[in-house]
Structure 1
Amino acid sequence: MILLQQTPPLAPTPEEGRSWLQRELARPEYHDLDLIERIMRWIERTLSDGIPSAGDVPWAQTVAAMVVFALLLVGIGLLVSRARRSPRVARDRNGDVLTDESLSAAALRARAEAAYAAGDHGTAVIDGFRALARRQVERGRLAEDPGLTAAEVAASLEREMSLDGRAGQAAELFNEVLYGHHPATREQAEGVLALEQELAVAR
């Protein structure tokens, strides 16, 4: 009687399973596919090629294989969660100016001045630039858009007014202070507040 050679059961350790997932996702042919699609293809291929049925292997090996794939699913969940957060993080780094707060330009300006008086120059820069942007929205120069970035505000103002790049410099400072957590100096806060005041009276 001819005995058919059985494929050895696949029962990797959790460490081996994680290593396989990392190596598989690093392969170049995956770079042109959607993240979830390429992970699911790899799992389907592994299931069809390497995992025998539960009746063909001892129960301990079946349990081990199930544990490995549970760990893989957890890893996939983390990857997908990180991928979904990435666009928002990138957008935040560009400097959203208009928040969900329903504060007027005057209220933001008052808050910026209070922060400046208290020696909190970073907050004075942030609220001062937001007051600047909000005032331009109130005057109809900018559209009401919660996703409006500091760079977009500056570019619009530089096109319409002769500001010699000061709006762009204020926008860069806003991003550095709010998202880069850089400290602001008294002179920098004064510059943003002066620009906001200049634009407040401009026609």
Structure 2
Amino acid sequence: MNRKFFQQQSGFIASYILYGIGLLAIVGAAYARLNTSAQQGQSVQDTVSEVAVQLEVIKGKIMLCAAVYPDGDHEQFDTRHAYPAPATTGNAAVISSVVCPAPNGDLSLALMPDGIPLPVSPPDFDEWVYEHTETGGIRLRLIPRVSGGAAATRERLLRQYEGSVFASGDELVFAVLN
């Protein structure tokens, strides 16, 4: 009888140990999922912060162009002559091919006298696109590398820059100058 009682007690204790291990596994999985969500949220916030810095650097270069070379003329439109324009035909180009109309010839935005290099595209996005039109003003476009990509980042940027940014499909369009 003692032996049977001992076996029952062992089975009872073993079931509690297995129950505890299972409970720890569930709590561990929940913690891992929570930690992953927090890391993803931090990654999105890091990208949003990076976009904010890059946006200010590019805007600064655009304004510096007009301030340093107020008599410049890009000869593309009848408005905003001193501001940069794409070096290519058309009114939009990647930021690296945008030039400032300097008196001694066009000067790349990357070579402006502020000493600050043009930013590299933010994570998950292609290179910034500069758009200068006669009627629409100056805009910066941010296009995800993958169709539908960076949705959380785009949504956060839309909230952060409400009123000065709008979505055009997957693209974000930031107003620099109207």
User: Do they superpose with TM above 0.5?
Assistant: no
Q: TM-score, normalised by structure 1?
A: 0.31
Give the number of the structure with larger relative contact order, counting CA–CA contacts within 8 Å between residues 6 or more apart: 1
Which structure shows the higher strand fraction? 2
